[in-house]
């Protein structure tokens, strides 16, 4: 079965393409390369022996998306394409709503006219805003604290309304917690352009000597060691969640968390990185980052019940694979 993968050249999309190939699906990548390098195709080929079809284009180009769906005979879409920098979204909200919300509307219109009405959507734990309780389950109210988060809430609503209005549609929204890690081959991983916004790629760049010092944002949170706690999830576990969502053949709209259910603090992550890499990781405690929550982790029982999915890889595996990738490609690809 052919699957259109929007944003398939990006971090999570490229790893999901490998999982799709492994499971016998044929990914067709559609990406405008706004946050990815074409070299990703070479890396996918190195690992799998297959170079997926690739169309360079923007999801806001409805005609091109439709043409691509029809040309390749795609039967479903996995939709990763989005802008994702929280801070930037507060400065450029129009850009975020245009790319993430209008972009998705354009994609859905193209799908509708091509008669392709199955979609798996990249949502995020950000749709829970500041959590009322943890572990967070899917009954938790939806809200956001920034335009990026709202764009995810809005798209989820659009998908739910679409499935409600037309029973030919099936949409699954997967709410990722904190994706980290790399492919175990060390040939594919996160390739951030510029200064990383997120903890794991920052720690990796300090360990490899590309950056001198890690700032730990706050050590006075009400957590065991005072630093923020998150549910880090290996990107290949996340990738398998998408394959299982495609295989599940659900009806209507379905949304679920993808997390491990286990929280780790910033200090625990750094310590694991020190042990795995054998490197010193110089760090300093600084002020809390505005908008950060003390603690967030998932209840992932619904994904287990409905998709038969669960995460298998622990923090050591996540760090080991990131380190392998970082050592192989210290300057990225």
Q: Which of 134, 162, 206, 266 binds ligand UD1 (CB under 6 A)?
A: 266
Nearest to 160 by CA among 147, 148, 173: 173
271 lies in the binding site for ligand UD1 (CB under 6 A): no
Give the pairing type, strands 229-230 and 264-265.
antiparallel
Catalytic residue among 97, 128, 148, 297: 148
Q: Which of 42, 95, 215, 305 binds ligand UD1 (CB under 6 A)?
A: 215
310 lies in the binding site for ligand UD1 (CB under 6 A): no
Q: Which of 137, 217, 250, 333 binds ligand UD1 (CB under 6 A)?
A: 217
Strand partners, 40: none
The interface partner of residue 291, options being ligand UD1, ligand NAD, none and the CB cut-off 5 to 8 Å by kind, is ligand UD1
| Minimum distance of ligand NAD from residue 109's CB (angstroms) | 14
| Minimum distance of ligand NAD from residue 189's CB (angstroms) | 11
Cβ distance 48 to 185 under 8 Å?
no
Site string for ligand UD1, 48-77 (x = CB under 6 A): ------------------------------
Q: How many CB atoms lie within 10 A of CB 193?
A: 10
The interface partner of residue 215, options being ligand NAD, ligand UD1, none and the CB cut-off 5 to 8 Å by kind, is ligand UD1
148 is catalytic: yes
Count CA within 13 A, CB hemisphere, residue 120: 30
CA distances for 312 relative to 233, 241, 309, angstroms = 9, 11, 10
The interface partner of residue 33, options being ligand NAD, ligand UD1, none and the CB cut-off 5 to 8 Å by kind, is ligand NAD
Q: Return the range that interacts with ligand UD1 (CB under 6 A); candidates 48-56, 102-110, 122-130, 317-325.
A: 122-130
The DSSP H or E segment spanning 205 is: helix 199-207
122 lies in the binding site for ligand UD1 (CB under 6 A): no
230 lies in the binding site for ligand UD1 (CB under 6 A): yes
- Select 41 or 239, whichever has its Cβ closest to ligand UD1: 239
| Minimum distance of ligand NAD from residue 55's CB (angstroms) | 10
| Minimum distance of ligand NAD from residue 13's CB (angstroms) | 5
CA dist 274 and 127 (Å) reads 32
Burial level of 113, CB count in 10 A (0-12/13-18/19+)?
A: middle
The interface partner of residue 122, options being ligand UD1, ligand NAD, none and the CB cut-off 5 to 8 Å by kind, is ligand NAD
CA dist 38 and 62 (Å) reads 22
Strand partners, 3: 27, 76
210 lies in the binding site for ligand UD1 (CB under 6 A): no
Contact set with ligand NAD (CB under 6 A): 6-7, 9-13, 31-36, 58-60, 80-84, 99, 103, 122, 124, 176, 179
Record the tokens describing residue 230, joined without a space.
Answer: 């998150």
Record the tokens describing residue 199, joined without a space.
Answer: 């903890």
The vertex-83 CA angle with 82 and 85, nearest 5°, equals 140
User: What is the DSSP track for 265-320?
Assistant: EHHHHHHHHHHHH-----EEEEPPPTT--SEE-B--HHHHHHH-------HHHHHH
Catalytic residues: 148
Binding stretches for ligand UD1 (CB under 6 A): 86, 124-126, 178-179, 197-199, 202, 215-217, 228, 230, 266, 289, 291-292
């Amino acid at each position: 079965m052919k699957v259109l993968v929007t944003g398939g050249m990006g971090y999570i999309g490229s790893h999901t393409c490998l999982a799709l190939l492994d499971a016998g699906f044929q990914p067709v990548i559609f990406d405008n390369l706004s946050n990815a390098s074409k070299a990703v195709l070479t890396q996918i080929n190195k690992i799998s022996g297959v170079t997926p079809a690739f169309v360079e284009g923007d999801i806001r180009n409805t005609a091109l998306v439709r043409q691509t769906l029809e040309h390749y005979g795609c039967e479903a879409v996995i939709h990763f394409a989005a802008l994702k920098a929280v801070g930037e979204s507060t400065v450029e909200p129009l850009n975020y709503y245009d790319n993430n919300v209008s972009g998705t509307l354009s994609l859905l219109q193209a799908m509708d006219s091509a008669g392709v009405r199955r979609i798996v959507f990249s949502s995020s734990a950000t749709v829970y805003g500041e959590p009322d309780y943890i572990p967070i389950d899917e009954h938790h109210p939806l809200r956001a604290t920034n335009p990026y988060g709202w764009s995810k809430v809005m798209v989820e609503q659009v998908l739910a309304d679409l499935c409600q209005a037309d029973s030919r549609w099936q949409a699954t929204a997967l709410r990722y917690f904190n994706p980290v890690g790399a492919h175990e081959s060390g040939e594919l991983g996160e390739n951030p352009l510029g200064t990383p916004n997120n903890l794991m790629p920052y720690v990796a760049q300090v360990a490899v000597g590309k950056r001198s010092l890690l700032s730990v944002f706050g050590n006075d949170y009400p957590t065991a060691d005072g630093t923020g706690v998150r549910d880090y999830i290996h990107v290949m576990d996340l990738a398998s969640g998408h394959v299982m969502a495609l295989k599940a053949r659900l009806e209507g709209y379905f949304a679920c968390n993808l997390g491990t259910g286990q929280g780790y603090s910033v200090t625990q992550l750094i310590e694991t990185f020190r042990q795995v890499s054998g490197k010193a990781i110089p760090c300093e405690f600084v002020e809390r980052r505005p908008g950060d929550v003390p603690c967030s982790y998932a209840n992932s029982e619904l994904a287990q019940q409905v998709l038969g999915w669960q995460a298998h890889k622990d923090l050591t595996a996540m760090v080991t694979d990131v380190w392998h990738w970082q050592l192989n490609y210290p300057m990225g690809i």
